[in-house]
């Protein structure tokens, strides 16, 4: 009988025993053959082991990739968490698993997999249990025998927990929770490779969880923004309704005050002293200003809600009406009023009353701010699909740094020379802009102090040919 040890480089893996049923002793040659045979068997064993390991590694790598793909496509956090714990438990071949996430910095919620039904998973206060140790050190804990650890908990011992492996779920340098795996059968243990694999899954899970949290956060921020925008819009609408109601309520008493003031001025109620007449004149002027303000406010709100008529308008008729309206004023101010209106202009679509209001405002301003001897010019021409209207004057002009603001409500330019032009509410140009924009048009101003100002309005030309006499 002869024995030949089967040696791998680090350990003895078996023995080759050779028997002979005749009493012939083994020769030197037999021993050599036995040794060669033992060597061959060892090499074959080693190769088989390597192959099995390689196969195992390939399978694990493939599963890991599958898990990663499944996780990255998922948008729901609880689904991600249960996928992670199921995949990790199955891939590593553990008997059960649990995943804990830190919420509000103090507790861990568990996602159990395959744990006995009687397991009670309470949120764990900071610092208690092995999982918190993993979180705080950001390092894995692996125990071959859980019961012998000083921090072992009664309920887990009762459940029969033997081998324990817990790895941190990391996102960068921050630990988000733990991934824990259990063997409930005595003698089963976790290997280095199991620990590596669990670590890799923990890292992948960390990235996915963090991404989902960021997405959730930005969703919440977007929602909060939408809510506050909706609230702002509601407040704006309430404010508009309020202003509209007030304007409406003011109109009647203002009309009555004006009527009585005019009655007193007419002398029907008896002759007044000159001082009384002056007072009544002031009342009339101020009431007229207030009425203008109230009217402007109403039109502003109407422009915002687009409560306008739409009808075809011939630009040259609109301009002729403006020229007629301002001829007398031009003579009174001793200002030259001129018009340059191109022939064959296309029609435009709009609300004639409000468009007249636009040019009324621009022309009134032009006269108000142009000294005696100056010019006010009205020009209209076509450019592509647009009709361009221009009101220009050779008046006091405006400083460049204030041009941006003149279309704001109640804004009035600080001008040295303006003192002789009191009154005005600062609403006129805001109104002009709202009306033009409600017509889908644009307004632009250029101005130079002591040289003059030019306001340019562009409105779309009507495409379809319109039969004459539509205005």
Q: What is the closest distance, in whole angstroms, from the C-beta atom of residue 405 to ligand ADP in the complex?
A: 9
Whether the CB-CB separation of 112 and 96 falls below 8 Å is answered with yes
Site size for ligand ADP, by CB under 6 A?
23
Instruction: Rule CB under 6 A: say whether 424 interacts with ligand ADP.
Output: yes
Helix (H, G, I), strand (E, B) or coil at 97: strand
Name the residue nearer to ligand ADP (CB basis): 318 or 335: 335
Contact 436, 457 (CB under 8 A): yes
Examine residue 378 and tell whether it contacts ligand ADP (CB under 6 A): no
Q: Cβ of residue 349: shortest distance to ligand ADP, in angstroms?
A: 25
Strands 163-171, 174-183: pairing is antiparallel
Q: Which of 406, 435, 443, 457 binds ligand ADP (CB under 6 A)?
A: 406
CB of 380 to ligand ADP, least distance (A): 18
Q: Which is nearer to ligand ADP, 308 or 411 (CB)?
A: 411
Compute the least distance from the CB of residue 412 to ligand ADP, in Å: 4
Which of 203, 298, 425, 446 contacts ligand ADP by CB under 6 A? 425
Rounded least distance, CB 221 to ligand ADP, Å: 39
Q: Which of 182, 190, 453, 457 binds ligand ADP (CB under 6 A)?
A: 453
Looking at the Cβ atoms of 32 and 338, the one nearer to ligand ADP is 338
* CA gap 14, 42 in Å, rounded: 9
Residue 413 interacts with ligand ADP (CB under 6 A): yes or no: yes
Beta carbon nearer to ligand ADP, 33 or 402: 402
Dist CA 275 CA 268 (whole Å):
17
Applying CB under 6 A, among 415, 442, 446, 460 the residue interacting with ligand ADP is 415
Q: Which stretch binds ligand ADP (CB under 6 A): 28-36, 172-180, 317-325, 394-402?
A: 394-402
Task: Show contacts of 460-468: CB within 8 Å, 24+ apart.
Answer: 460/348, 460/349, 460/385, 460/386, 460/387, 461/346, 461/347, 461/348, 461/382, 461/385, 461/386, 461/387, 462/312, 462/346, 462/347, 462/348, 462/349, 463/385, 466/312, 466/347
Q: How many CB atoms lie within 10 A of CB 409?
A: 15
Cα 60 to Cα 247: distance, rounded to the nearest angstrom: 77
SS3 assignment, position 382: strand
Is residue 14 a contact point for ligand ADP (CB under 6 A)?
no
Query: Least distance to ligand ADP from the beta carbon of 424, Å?
Result: 3
The CB-side HSE value for 175 (13 A sphere, CA atoms) comes to 22
Told to check if 428 binds ligand ADP by CB under 6 A, we report yes
The binder of ligand ADP chosen from 398, 435, 438, 443 (CB under 6 A)? 398
Q: Who's near 124: CB < 8 A, 6+ residues apart?
A: 100, 107, 108, 131, 132
- CB 258, min distance to ligand ADP, A: 20
313-332 residues in contact with ligand ADP (CB under 6 A) are none
Residues in contact with 59: Cβ distance below 8 Å, sequence separation at least 6, in sequence order:
none
Residues with Cβ within 8 Å of residue 441, at least 6 apart in sequence: 457, 458, 459, 460
- Among the listed ranges 52-60, 225-233, 310-318, 360-368, the one in contact with ligand ADP (CB under 6 A) is 360-368
Under rule CB under 6 A, residue 374 binds ligand ADP: no
**Taking a C-beta distance cutoff of 8 angstroms, is the pair 129, 116 a contact?**
no
User: Nearest approach, Cβ of 411 to ligand ADP (angstroms)?
Assistant: 6
Q: Classify residue 400 by burial, with Cβ atoms within 10 Å: 0-12, 13-18, 19+.
A: exposed
In this chain, which stretch among 259-267, 350-358, 422-430, 456-464 interacts with ligand ADP, using CB under 6 A?
422-430
Q: Is 142 helix (H, G, I), strand (E, B) or coil?
A: strand
Judged by CB under 6 A, which stretch of 143-151, 167-175, 207-215, 390-398 contacts ligand ADP? 390-398
Instruction: Tell the residue number behind the tokens 């040919």, with chain if given.
Output: 465
What distance in Å separates the CA atoms of residue 38 and residue 36, rounded to the nearest whole number?
Answer: 5
| Binding window for ligand ADP (CB under 6 A); candidates: 177-185, 220-228, 317-325, 388-396 | 388-396
Say whether residue 366 binds ligand ADP (CB under 6 A). yes
Q: Which of 396, 435, 436, 443 binds ligand ADP (CB under 6 A)?
A: 396
Question: How far apart (Å, rounded) are the C-alpha atoms in residues 137 and 124?
Answer: 17
Residues that bind ligand ADP (CB under 6 A): 361, 365-366, 369, 393, 395-398, 406, 411-413, 415, 418, 424-430, 453
């Amino acid at each position: 009988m002869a024995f030949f040890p089967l040696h791998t480089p680090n350990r003895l893996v078996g023995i080759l025993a050779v028997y002979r049923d005749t009493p012939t002793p083994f020769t030197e040659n037999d021993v050599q053959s036995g040794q060669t045979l033992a060597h061959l068997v060892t090499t074959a064993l080693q190769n088989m082991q390597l192959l099995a390991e390689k196969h195992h590694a390939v399978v694990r790598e493939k599963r890991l990739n599958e898990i990663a793909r499944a996780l990255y496509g998922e948008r729901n956090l609880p689904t991600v968490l249960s996928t992670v714990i199921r995949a990790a438990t199955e891939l590593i071949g553990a008997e059960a698993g649990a995943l804990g996430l830190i919420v509000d910095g103090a507790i861990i919620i568990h996602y159990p997999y395959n744990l006995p039904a009687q397991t009670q998973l309470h949120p764990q206060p900071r610092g208690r249990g092995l999982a918190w140790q993993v979180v705080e050190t950001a390092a894995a804990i692996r125990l071959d025998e859980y019961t012998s650890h000083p921090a072992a908990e009664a309920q887990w011992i009762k459940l029969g927990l033997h081998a324990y492996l817990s790895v941190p779920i990391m996102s960068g340098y921050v630990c988000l929770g733990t991934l824990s795996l259990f063997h409930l059968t005595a003698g089963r243990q976790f290997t280095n490779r199991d620990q590596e694999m669990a670590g890799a899954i923990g890292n992948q899970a960390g990235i996915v969880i963090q991404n989902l949290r960021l997405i959730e956060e930005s969703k919440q921020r977007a929602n909060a923004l939408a809510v506050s925008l909706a609230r702002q819009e509601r407040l704006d609408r309430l404010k508009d309704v309020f202003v509209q109601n007030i304007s409406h309520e003011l109109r009647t008493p203002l009309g009555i005050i004006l009527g009585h003031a005019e009655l007193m001025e007419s002398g029907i109620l008896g002759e007044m002293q000159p001082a009384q007449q002056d007072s009544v004149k002031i009342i009339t002027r101020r009431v007229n200003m207030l009425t203008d303000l109230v009217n402007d406010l109403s039109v502003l709100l109407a422009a915002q809600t687009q409560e306008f008529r739409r009808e075809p308008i011939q630009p040259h008729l609109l301009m002729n009406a403006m020229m007629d309206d301002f001829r007398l004023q031009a003579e009174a101010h001793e200002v030259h009023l001129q018009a340059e209106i191109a022939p064959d202009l296309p029609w435009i679509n709009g609300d004639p009353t409000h468009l007249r209001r636009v040019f009324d405002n621009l022309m009134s301003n032009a006269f108000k701010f142009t000294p005696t001897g100056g010019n006010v010019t009205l020009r209209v021409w076509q450019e592509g699909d647009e009709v361009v209207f221009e009101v220009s004057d050779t008046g006091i002009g405006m400083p460049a740094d204030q041009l941006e603001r003149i279309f704001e409500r109640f804004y009035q330019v600080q001008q040295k020379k303006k003192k002789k032009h009191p009154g005005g509410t600062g609403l006129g140009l805001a109104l002009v802009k709202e009306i033009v924009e409600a017509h889908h048009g644009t307004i632009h101003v250029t101005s130079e102090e002591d040289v003059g100002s030019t306001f340019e309005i562009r409105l779309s030309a009507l495409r379809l040919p319109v039969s004459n006499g539509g205005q």
